[in-house]
């Protein structure tokens, strides 16, 4: 990315004598200030990349995925230090520098559309940071290149959430008042549609409000958004959700397979990752057609089926957190091996979308708000089923058939909803909603992990000899722990004890 070129001012006498030279020495292809629109594609792509990449670490914590025993001692068995999270801290903070630049350029050029997007992107990126790390710098984030701000000051997660809500409200009002002639160029997320950016801002506001709802009464704010779509428009269908479509000839979705395997499976049977037993067992128990999107048949059953099509395809999840010895013992007692566990499915491996926030998530949060009597209009059971349909609608039919390019058919949806177990029951509503949030967020580890920490479902099973409890926060990177303002903050708010991965963040009940 080009950096802003800072052109030193010349003295008055030199300006007088050299004015003619300067007029012909300006390079129109190398402007002094990068246009705001030029910053959008890398900002959006990097933010989406951090989400899809979160499937590896946060996705292991929340058991979307599991690693074969012993192959991921650090993440899968929770042997974690500040060094483990170095890039998870540094990457987003570098990105916030570009967000700050976007906002500054937009304000200087009176392009309120880009200023609004700058507010939204700052909130989106730092909401992931705060959900993972807890207390973070917000006002001074990304300002390490500014004299006097080399070491950012920290703010509590509770304060950060309020600042994020204020920034989203600012974005909502800026986009509401946007002149009709204003355009958003190089927008790879919503293709220049300011209305969709506004819907994203308000939908994201619901996520942040509900995230803290165990600690703060947010009912009035949540109801104000859901009950007043004119002032607070939100996503109204799956096609509006925040999903980045990658151009796979240039950039790639994190889980995309660049070179398809020769066996025709469309998956990576040689990977160390497997779909967790919690995910596979839950989808099987619910006869949920997303099983065939999320997981591939085991390699052994796939090969056997190719020889004899009458051989059934099997789907089996991997237990999380096993040591090498435990994995060997399990395989010996069951007669299974690494090729008897399902890897990530071929639809995901051919996917070109990263989901920043889905319509299904918004509807599930609405169903929760209705169930919890927050003053939101509607019927919780109806909205709950609409949410699951929206999750199914993420996987429509495309090129090929259901075997070569899995999708969820109308017949599969009908069969699913004909089951009594798909009805929302008041006595188990929170568990049902939480499990659906977890399922819908598959491979978005950040969101699945945050939902599990907030609502306590699904029930996860750690390995029998893991080195620590299932992590509930990221650890401040070892480099950041040298920030004197972090040390001071820890001394003031945490009795001088640097938080570890089993120290709850504020929003957790």
Q: Which tens digit of pLDDT belongs to each residue from 164-215?
A: 999 999 999 999 999 999 999 999 999 999 999 999 999 999 999 999 999 9
d(CA 205, CA 111): 23
Residue pair 265/441 in contact by the 8 Å Cβ criterion = no
Q: Which DSSP helix (H) or strand (E) runs through 354?
A: strand 353-357
d(CA 507, CA 83): 25
Above pLDDT 70, what percent of the chain?
A: 92
d(CA 446, CA 106) in angstroms, rounded, equals 30
- Of 372-376, 466-470, 478-482, give the range with the top mean pLDDT: 372-376
What pLDDT sits at residue 75?
82
* CA 101/CA 151 separation, integer angstroms: 18
Interval 406-420 mean pLDDT: 95
- Is 179 part of a structural domain of the chain? yes
In this structure, is residue 313 part of a structural domain? no
Tens-place pLDDT, residues 74-88: 788 888 888 889 989
| CATH number, position 411 | 1.25.40.390
Please report which confidence band the pLDDT of residue 10 belongs to, taking 50, 70 and 90 as the band edges.
very low
49 inside domain: yes
Helix%, strand%, coil% for the chain, nearest 5: 50, 5, 45
Q: pLDDT class for 26, splitting at 50, 70, 90?
A: very low
pLDDT of residue 13: 34
In a domain, 23, yes or no: no
Categorize the per-residue pLDDT at 106 as very low, low, confident or very high, splitting at 50, 70 and 90: very high
Q: Is residue 500 predicted with pLDDT exceeding 80?
A: yes
More confident residue, 26 or 466: 466
- Residue 245: DSSP 8-state: E
List the one residue out of 454, 223, 243 whose CA is nearest residue 359.
Answer: 243
CA–CA distance, 205 with 120 (Å, rounded to integer): 10
Mean pLDDT, range 250-271, rounded to an integer: 90
Model confidence over 134-178: pLDDT tens digits? Answer: 999 999 999 877 777 789 999 999 999 999 999 999 999 999 999
Provide the number of structural domains found in the chain. Answer: 1
Closest CA to 63 of 459, 395, 397, 391: 459
Three-state SS at 242: strand
* Per-chain mean pLDDT for the chain: 91
Q: How much is the pLDDT for 259?
A: 86
Question: What is the model's pLDDT at position 19?
Answer: 38
Residue 6, pLDDT score: 35
Residue of 33 and 114 predicted with greater confidence:
114
Would you say residue 468 lies in a domain? yes
pLDDT at 461: 86
Other beta carbons less than 10 A from residue 249's beta carbon:
6
Pairwise CA distance, residues 413 & 493, whole Å: 50
Is 255's pLDDT higher than 80? yes
Is residue 276 a part of any domain in this protein?
A: no
Would you say residue 281 lies in a domain? no
What whole-number distance in Å separates Cα of residue 38 and Cα of residue 110? Answer: 16
Q: Is 49 in a helix, a strand, or coil?
A: helix
pLDDT value at residue 305: 96
Q: What is the pLDDT of residues 424-469, one digit of tens each?
A: 999 999 999 999 999 999 999 999 999 999 999 999 988 899 988 9
CA distances for 215 relative to 48, 219, 396, 458, 503, angstroms: 29, 12, 38, 21, 17
Average the pLDDT over each of 148-152, 159-163, 341-345, 350-354 and give the range with the smallest value. Answer: 148-152
| pLDDT per residue as tens digits for the range 231-248 | 999 999 999 999 999 986
19 assigned to some structural domain: no
Q: At what angle do helices 86-108 and 36-53 cross, to 10 degrees?
A: 160
Is 84 within 8 Å of 58 (Cβ atoms)?
A: no
Long-range contacts of 156-161 (CB under 8 A, 24+ apart): 156/493, 156/506, 157/130, 157/505, 157/506, 157/507, 158/212, 158/215, 158/216, 158/506, 160/126, 160/130, 160/135, 160/136, 161/130, 161/208, 161/211, 161/212, 161/507
Residue 22: pLDDT over 60? no
Range of the domain at 464: 36-246+351-493
pLDDT for the residue numbered 53: 87
Cα distance between residue 241 and residue 227, in whole Å: 19
């Amino acid at each position: 990315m080009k950096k802003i070129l800072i052109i030193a001012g010349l003295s008055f006498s030199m300006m007088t004598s050299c004015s003619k030279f300067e007029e012909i020495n300006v390079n129109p292809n190398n402007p002094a200030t990068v246009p705001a629109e030029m910053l959008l594609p890398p900002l959006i792509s990097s933010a989406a990349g951090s989400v899809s990449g979160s499937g590896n670490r946060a996705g292991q914590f929340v058991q979307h995925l599991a690693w074969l025993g012993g192959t991921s001692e650090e993440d899968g068995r929770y042997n974690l230090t500040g060094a483990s999270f170095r890039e998870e801290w540094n990457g987003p903070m570098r990105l916030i520098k570009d967000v700050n630049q976007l906002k500054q350029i937009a304000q200087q050029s009176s392009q309120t559309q880009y200023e609004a997007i700058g507010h939204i992107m700052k909130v989106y990126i730092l909401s992931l940071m705060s959900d993972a790390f807890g207390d973070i710098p917000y006002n001074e984030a990304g300002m390490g290149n500014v004299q006097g701000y080399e070491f950012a000051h920290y703010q509590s997660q509770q304060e950060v959430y309020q600042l994020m809500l204020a920034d989203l409200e600012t974005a909502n009002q800026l986009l509401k008042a946007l002149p009709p002639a204003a355009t958003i160029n190089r927008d790879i997320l919503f293709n220049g549609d300011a209305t969709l950016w506004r819907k994203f801002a308000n939908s994201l506001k619901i996520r942040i409000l509900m995230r803290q709802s165990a600690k703060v009464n947010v009912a009035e704010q949540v109801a104000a958004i859901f009950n007043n779509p004119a002032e607070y428009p939100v996503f109204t269908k799956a096609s509006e959700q925040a999903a980045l479509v990658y151009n796979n000839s240039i950039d790639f979705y994190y889980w995309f397979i660049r070179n398809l395997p020769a066996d025709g499976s469309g998956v990576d049977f040689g990977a160390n990752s497997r779909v967790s037993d919690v995910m596979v067992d839950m989808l099987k128990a619910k006869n949920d057609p997303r099983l065939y999107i999320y997981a591939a048949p085991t390699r052994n059953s796939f090969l056997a089926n190719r020889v004899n099509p009458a051989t059934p395809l099997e789907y089996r999840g991997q237990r999380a957190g096993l040591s090498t010895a435990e994995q060997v013992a399990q395989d010996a007692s069951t007669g299974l091996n690494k090729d008897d566990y399902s890897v990530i499915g071929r639809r995901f491996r051919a996917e070109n979308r990263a989901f920043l926030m889905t319509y299904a998530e918004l509807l599930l949060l609405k169903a929760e708000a209705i169930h919890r009597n927050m003053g939101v209009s509607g019927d919780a059971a109806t909205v709950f089923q609409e949410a699951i349909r929206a999750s199914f609608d993420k996987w429509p039919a495309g090129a090929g058939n259901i075997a070569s390019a899995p999708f969820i058919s109308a017949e599969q949806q009908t069969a699913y909803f004909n089951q009594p177990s798909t009805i929302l029951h008041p006595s188990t509503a929170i568990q049902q909603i939480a499990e659906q949030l977890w399922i819908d967020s598959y491979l978005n580890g950040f969101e699945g992990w945050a939902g599990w920490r907030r609502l306590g479902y699904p029930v996860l099973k750690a390995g029998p000899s893991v080195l620590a409890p299932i992590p509930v926060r990221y650890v401040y990177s070892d480099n950041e722990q040298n920030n004197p303002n972090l040390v001071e903050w820890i001394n003031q708010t945490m009795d001088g004890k640097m938080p570890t991965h089993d120290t709850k963040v504020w929003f957790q009940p």
